[in-house]
Amino acid sequence: MLPAMPKKLRIAIVGPGRLGSALAFELDRAGYPIAEIIVRKRSRQTAALARKLRAQILLQNSGGIQANVIWFCVPDREIARAARVLASEGKWKGRTAFHSSGALPSGELGALKKLGASVASVHPLMTFVRGALPSLAGVPFALEGDAAALRVARRIVRDLGGDPFQIRAQNKAAYHAWGAFTSPLLVALLVAAEQVAGAAGLSTSAARKKMLPILQQTIQNYGRLGPAGAFSGPLVRGDAEVVRKHLKVLGTMRDAKEVYTALAQIAISHLPVKRRAELRKALTAR
């Protein structure tokens, strides 16, 4: 007889916000039953989510958790408090607790570890916003924690189609800052681009639509050719006169000018450009 396949662990989601809800749906799709959704107070949105996932709703201080894995998806500042509240649940030995903060270490779940739980931080390098449910297939997950929890995390992440990798606790802040550059600060850069487009006579909606083809091609080039191969424009050519014209028109947009200058300095230092000295002089001229 063939050996029986191991059963999928039952999971509780603490805090069904944007990340928690998206994660719950992906876990359910991967065959992991969502046993409970744990909240501070009930809402219509939580009730609708629980119905779709066939999950029970529990209040944080009510007890009765049946899941094997308790996954905290609350904001960073609430993780330790939520763990202390759930510590009163009592039976933590043999259970696994995750949190999904990119910046904080697994030690935020120390109240549960003291009671026998294995703990880890499990952070998907992905953006979660209202109106979008991204697939987790191919998404990197940064893992940090104790050995038992990491074994469980790797298994779950692989079943989700994700790419688990381990990170040191002391490196989490740098990891999270890296993540900030890949999405939220990238959006901020695009907002700056919209403002500059306004100086060229375009509305923000028109600018957004017209930027998409070049943005999509740039990301494709970056992934296929690397940063040097994807880099183009006046800096590559060493065209300091064009850079001076850019800076002149940006003179009335201080924030955009500062962003332009900072990014151009990074390009001059780390990407293939011609006439570096002249370009630096153009960027620092008053």
Rounded distance between C-alpha atoms, residue 98 and residue 75, angstroms: 13
Place 4 in a pLDDT band, splitting at 50, 70 and 90.
very low
Instruction: Describe the crossing of helices 254-270 and 240-249 by its angle, rounded to 10 degrees.
Output: 160
Mean pLDDT of 180-189: 97
Residue 188: pLDDT over 70? yes
Mean pLDDT of 83-88: 92
Rounded distance between C-alpha atoms, residue 202 and residue 56, angstroms: 50
Q: What is the pLDDT of residue 286?
A: 67
Q: What is the pLDDT of residue 5?
A: 39
**Which is the CATH superfamily of the domain at 11-171?**
NAD(P)-binding Rossmann-like Domain (3.40.50.720)
pLDDT in tens, 227-266: 999 999 999 999 999 999 999 999 999 999 999 999 999 9
User: Chain-wide mean pLDDT for the chain?
Assistant: 94
pLDDT in tens, 122-147: 999 999 998 888 999 999 999 999 99
Percent of all residues in the chain with a pLDDT value above 70, rounded to a whole number: 97
The one-letter code for the residue type at 89 is: E
All structural domains of the chain with their residue ranges: 11-171, 183-284
Q: If 0-12 CB within 10 Å is exposed, 13-18 middle and 19+ buried, where does residue 14 land?
A: buried
CB 175 within 8 A of CB 102: yes
- Reference 97, options 113, 85, 81, 82; nearest CA is 113
